Amino acid sequence: MKLIKLITFLGLGALVSACADIETATRNTPFGTAPAFAQVSLGAMPLLSATPMVALPQSVAPQMRITAINVTVPQSLKVSEANRYYPSGDIVWREDPFGDRHAQIKAIFETGLQRGADTMGGDYPVVLDVTVSRFHALTEKARYTVGGVHSIAFTMQLRDTRTGAPVGAPREVKANLKAYGGQQAIDAESRGQTQKVRITAHLAEVLRQEMTRIDGFETPKPGFKQAFRKL
């Protein structure tokens, strides 16, 4: 019986050790942690034969140059005009006049992402395709009281400009941004820092991080979003 217990204990120890080794190796490997652009299919690379997706060195990221940006805001995304603290819906936007919210969000993304793309240069030309899945800014009620979170999510896909082939896998990005409320929001607006100005600049920074950081954009800690949902 003691021998069986000893064998079992040693087996569990080996399993735990193996798990720890695997986790460490994954953290240190670009394929497991890098944004989609670092996982490039050789089929998208000129003069190379088509093979399954492979990991490329981190140094590849800054060498990419975005030549075009295509933003899609699906009509299936539900728009909410309800003036509540946290209305249901995929799109909540109030700083533009009442109208086509899908088109307004598309314009914000195009401006912000282009601004981010303009800060990067490289020899490998790629096209950036973005599909928005959520754009939840603040209602008037939340903006001038408790504030909250600009909840923004989208999927990005890079493609070789010359061949159109996908460069890496699609990457889902959560680009949340803390939203000002109450006096802080009023003070920000007096400095010209409207919701649109802040979100546009934020999208530019999100793209920059996605294209240059091994872990991509770092989303805020989840605490303050869940807290706001309970209001």
The sign of the CA dihedral 109, 215, 198, 77 is positive
pLDDT 10s digits, 6-59: 444 444 343 333 333 322 232 233 333 445 455 444 444 443 334 334 344 454
Residue type, 86: Y
Tokens of 231: 């209001």
pLDDT in tens, 160-210: 999 999 998 999 999 999 999 999 999 999 999 999 999 999 999 999 999
Nearest partner of 36 among 172, 207, 161, judged by Cα:
172
- The pLDDT assigned to 126 comes to 95
Asked if 40 and 167 touch (Cβ cutoff 8 Å), the reply is yes
The whole-chain average pLDDT of the chain stands at 77
Q: What percent of the chain has pLDDT over 70?
A: 68
- At residue 193, the 3 state secondary structure works out as coil
pTM of the predicted protein model: 0.72
Q: Enumerate the domain spans of the chain.
A: 33-229
> For residue 174, what are the contacts with CB-CB under 8 A and spacing of at least 6?
152, 153, 217, 219
Q: Kindly state the helix (H) or strand (E) to which residue 148 belongs, with its residue range.
A: strand 148-160
Say what the pLDDT of residue 91 is.
Answer: 98
Question: 131: pLDDT confidence band, cut at 50, 70 and 90?
Answer: very high
Which of 214, 117, 129, 213 has the alpha carbon at shortest distance from 165? Answer: 129
pLDDT, residue 19, reads: 32
Contact 38, 61 (CB under 8 A): yes
SS3 label, residue 209: helix
Whether 80 and 88 have beta carbons less than 8 Å apart is answered as yes
222: DSSP letter:
T
DSSP 8-class letter at 43: G
pLDDT at 218 over 90: no
**Residues 65-78: what's their mean pLDDT?**
97
* pLDDT above 90: residue 74: yes
Residue 67 phi, psi (nearest 5): -95, -20
Query: Residue 69 is which amino acid?
Result: I
Give kind and range of the element (H or E) at residue 108.
Answer: helix 101-117
CA dist 204 → 116, 186, 198 (Å): 4, 24, 10
